[in-house]
Structures are given as C-alpha cells and as structure tokens.
Structure 1
Amino acid sequence: MTKALTFLIAGASALCMSPALAETQPCGQRDGILDALSQKYGEVRTSVGLTSNGWMMETFAADGGSWTITVTKPDGTTCLIAAGKSYEQVAAGAAIAGEPS
C-alpha cells in the first residue's frame, strides 16, 4: 500500500471515529446510498475497513472518475464522509512522485 493511500485511509479513519462529524454529514439507509453511488456515479466498492469504534469505513470509486468515502454505523445508517474526482487505482508499493525511493 502506498504512503499516500495509507495517509488517506488513516485520515478517513480518524474522521470516522468522530461521532459529531458523522452526525453532520449526509446520512441515510445503506441500500439507498449504495444504489445512488452505483446508479448516479458508477462507483463500486474498492476498499473496506473497521474503525476503532466498530463502524465500517468503505471507499467507492469509478475508474478514472469520482470517489466517495462512507461510514456505516451498526444500526445500518450510512454517512458520506468525503468525495472527490479523478480517482486512480495504483499498484501496491507504487512510487509517489517526489517521494524518496
């Protein structure tokens, strides 16, 4: 895993651990949110992990397009944490420009 991806996941995990942040983000039932990410943006799940408070953190992306990070609480509520564009899948261990090898 590249350092950039590790940093992104660590940052997202830190955000996921904040109940106050998740409460201020757009939230809804998991099925509806996943349908919207798939139908509207063509995103599929690219990674998944568990936060220290037991929430599931997932990354969804469309190849070369949009990406979204969500957290799902044990009650099934899913919240959008971050989103962006220009998603690119990189090989594990790929060098980052400007990073010492």
Structure 2
Amino acid sequence: MLIRALALCLMLASPATAQQAQCGPVPYIMSALMGRYGEAVVDDRTEDRALWQMWANAETGSWTLTATLGMTTCIVAAGQGYDGQTVLDLISGVAL
C-alpha cells in the first residue's frame, strides 16, 4: 500500500512543480504551507490509507496538493491560479 501511494505521488508530479515530490514530517510541511505561503486546507479526501489535501491561498492564488501517510506528508503538486480545484479534480483518472 505504501509503495502504491508513493508511486501515485510521483505519477502526479506535474510541470507546475518542476521537481520531485518533497516529503517531510507532517508538522513541518503544515507549518510551511500555513506560515510561508498563507495557505489553508480547502479540500481533503482519504484514498488508499493516504490523506490527500488541497491547500490554497485565495488572496495570492497559490495552491498545493499534499498526500499524508502516517506522519509523513509529501507535496505532490503546487502552482498558481487556484480557482476551486478539489483533490478529486487532480487525482481523478489515476488508478489507486
């Protein structure tokens, strides 16, 4: 299960990120998204034991998709121009 979730993270990496998924302890990633980028969770979904969260800052338009498994969170994708996308919008069509 863990391997499939991590493989999915890598498959979802988009040109918007232009790099591999970055992972770290849940509190560290959450703190960075809230403090540095002013983002808050706008949607979440649990799939295959992983907690997927869409973070966004309505003022700046920045957004981040994260996947959390256990005490590790990975930034799967990020970008600008948030316009209401949900977790399901970004992970739909991917076999879980």
Interval containing the TM-score (normalised by the shorter chain)? 0.5 to 0.7
Q: Secondary structure at the match of 2:27?
A: helix
Aligned length: 72
Q: How far apart, in 1, do the equivalents of 2:49 and 2:7 lie?
A: 15
The TM-score, its normalising length taken from structure 1, stands at: 0.63
Displacement of 1:40: 1.1
Does the CA-based 8 Å contact 2:21-2:77 persist in structure 1?
Answer: no
Larger Rg over CA atoms:
1
1:18 Cα deviation (Å)? 4.0
More strand by percentage: 2
Runs of 5+ unmatched residues, structure 2: 11-19, 86-96
Moved over 4 A (4+): none
Q: Which runs of 5+ in 1 are unaligned?
A: 1-16, 91-101
Provide the alpha-carbon RMSD of the alignment.
Answer: 2.0
What fraction of aligned residue pairs are identical, expressed as a percent?
A: 33
TM-score (norm 2): 0.66
Bigger mean CA deviation after superposition, 32-41 or 19-28: 19-28
